[in-house]
Amino acid sequence: MTRPPRKGAPGRRRHPATRRPVLDGARLTAYDVLDAVSSRAAFANLLLPQLLRERQLDPRDAGFATQLAYGTLRAQGTLDAILTGLVSRPLSELDPRVLDLLRLGAYQIVDLRVPSHAAVDTTVDLTRAIVGTGASGLVNAVLRKVAAGGDRAAWLDTLAAEGDERLALATDHPRWIVDAWRDALDDDGELETALLADDAAPEVHLVARRMDRTALAEESGGEPGPWSPHAVRLGGGDPGRLASVRSGRAAVQDEGSQLAALLLTRAPLEGPETAWLDMCAGPGGKAGLLAVRRPDGVRLTAADRAPHRAELVRQALRDEDDVEVLAADGTQPPWAPGSFDRVLLDAPCTGLGALRRRPEVRWRRTAADVAPLAELQTDLLDSALRAVRVGGVVAYVTCSPHTDETVAVADAAAGRDDVEVLPVAPLFPEVPGIARGEYGQLWPHRHGTDAMFMALLRRTR
C-alpha cells in the first residue's frame, strides 16, 4: 500500500527538479484501491471504506476518492478500448501499476470535469512516486493524447463501435452482460436505460431492524425507501458513523435484498410453523431481517458453507434469541428432510444484478461462470425443497437477472410433481413492474434497487 510523503517533514532541501511531489490523498487512495483489485483480487466496496477511515480524508476528498475508484473500475472496458489505440504495445504487457495509473488519469479526462492539465499532472506525479521517473514519461504522453481526443462522447465516435458494441462501451458493460440483460428484459426498449442505471453510483440503503425507521431516517438524514417498510435511503455519507448501525439496530442493506427476505415472510403457509431456515446466510443481512420478522415461537437457523461467513452471520444475529448459526454446506446439510416451514435460499450467483455496488465484478466475471453456478443453484434448490415440510415454502433468490441462473433454475424445480409455484407479484402490490411471469424481478432503472430475482415454491407432497 502506498504511503504519501509527509507534508513539511524536516530534512535536507532538494533541488526542485528532484523534489518528491506532494501526492493528492484522494487520488492516491483511489489508486491503492485499483492496485489492490488488480493485484490481489480485492473487493473495492470492502477495501475503500477501510482506507477512508485509516487515512481520515475530509468528506470532500473521501467523496472524490470514492468517485475516482468506483468510476474508474466501472469504466475499465471503455478506458482500455481508448488506451489500446494510444499505447504501442498490448495493455497486458504494461506494468500493471502503470496501466492502473493510465486508467485513473484517463477516467478523469474522459468522464469527469477535471481539467486535463490537472488530471495529467497529478497522475504523472503519482507515477513518479509509485513506479519511477521513466514510466512517468509514458503516462504523460499517453494521457495528453487521451485529452486531445475529448470526452467520452467524442471517444465513442472515434472508436466507431456500432450497435451493441457501442452500447457496451457507452454503459460500461462487457458485451456478454449486455446480451444477458437483453434476454432478461421483457421490453428491449428498456435495455439502455437499465444498463445506464446499473452503471450509476447507487444510493446508500439502510435497513431498520430493531428500531423504527422514522427514527433511523431522522438520525441519518435519509428518506424512507419506497418499497420496504424497513428501508431508508441516503444520498451519500458513511453509514458506519451512525450509532444505530454500530449497535446493530440498523444495517446497510439494499432495499431489493430486504424485499427478498420479506417475500419469505409474506408467503401463504399451510399449517402451523415453528422453524425457518436461511440456507446460504452469509454475511447475515437477510437473516437479520428474518429474525425480527418471524412470529413468536419460531426458531431461525442460519447456515453458510464458509466458516468465516458463518461467523459474520453470528455477529449479525448476536442480539437475537432462539437462533442457531451453522457452518454447513447446503448441498450436504446436517438437518433432516422436512425440518423447516419456510426456507430462504439466497443462492451463490454471478452477481450481475449488484454491479452498481461491486463495480469490478463486471470485468472479473465471464460468461463461462454461469453454467457451473447454475448447476450449483439447482443442487441447492433441490436441497432446499427437501429441507421444507409438505405445505412449506422455499424462496429462491439470486442477485442476478441472467436467465440461466434465475428462470431456468426455478422452472426446472417447478417441473417437479411435488412442487407448485406461488406468484410473487400479488405479495408485493405496492411494487409496480416486479412480475417476471410468475416470478419476481427487481431492476435498478425501475425500482432503484439491485436486480434481484425471486421465486416462491411450495412443497405439495
**Is the bond leading into 359 cis (omega within 30 degrees of zero)?**
no
Tell me the Ramachandran region of residue 338: left when phi exceeds 0, alpha when psi lies from -120 to 50, beta otherwise.
left
From residue 56, alpha-carbon distances to 48, 51, 53, 247, 382 in Å are 12, 8, 5, 22, 48
Cell of 383: 436441497
What is the distance between the alpha carbons of residues 423 and 411, in angstroms, rounded to a whole number? Answer: 13
420 DSSP assignment = E
Quote the crossing angle between the two packed helices 25-40 and 59-74, to the nearest 10°: 40
Cβ contacts of 7 within 8 Å, gap of 6 or more: 22
Exactly one of 195, 277, 374, 399 is catalytic; which is it?
Answer: 399
CA neighbor of 377 nearest in space, from 361, 397, 401, 394: 397
Cell of 282: 452469509
Catalytic: 399? yes
From residue 130, alpha-carbon distances to 3, 83, 101, 306, 450 in Å are 9, 20, 10, 36, 36
Does residue 279 contact residue 328 with C-beta atoms inside 8 Å? no
3-class secondary-structure state, position 456: strand
Cβ contacts of 18 within 8 Å, gap of 6 or more: none
Cβ contacts of 100 within 8 Å, gap of 6 or more: 31, 34, 35, 38
Does residue 399 contact residue 440 with C-beta atoms inside 8 Å? no
Residue positions annotated with a catalytic role: 399
